[in-house]
Amino acid sequence: AEGLGFKDHFVLFAIFVSVIHSALEEYYWRWFVYGHLREKVGRWAGHGIAAVAFGAHHLVVTLQFFSPA
């Protein structure tokens, strides 16, 4: 966390990630991405595509914090 600059503002960062980022992420993935996919490709395909994209997004984010061995 030191190299990323989070150490000095850990509590603020934790609140941001836990509350604000989570709410925005829910809006974006559930209502925006899935909503548009559902209209374009149907309910089940929309679920599948959104789930894969959501997982890929989190893999990319996680790899920014941890270098692969």
Domain ranges of the chain: 7-65
Which residues neighbour 38 within 8 Å (Cβ) at sequence distance 6 or greater?
A: 46
Q: What is the pTM of this model?
A: 0.66
Asked if residue 33 lies in contact with residue 50, where contact means CB atoms within 8 angstroms, the answer is yes
**pLDDT tens, residue by residue, 25-66:** 888 888 999 999 999 999 999 999 999 999 999 898 888 888
Please state the rounded mean pLDDT for residues 12-30.
87
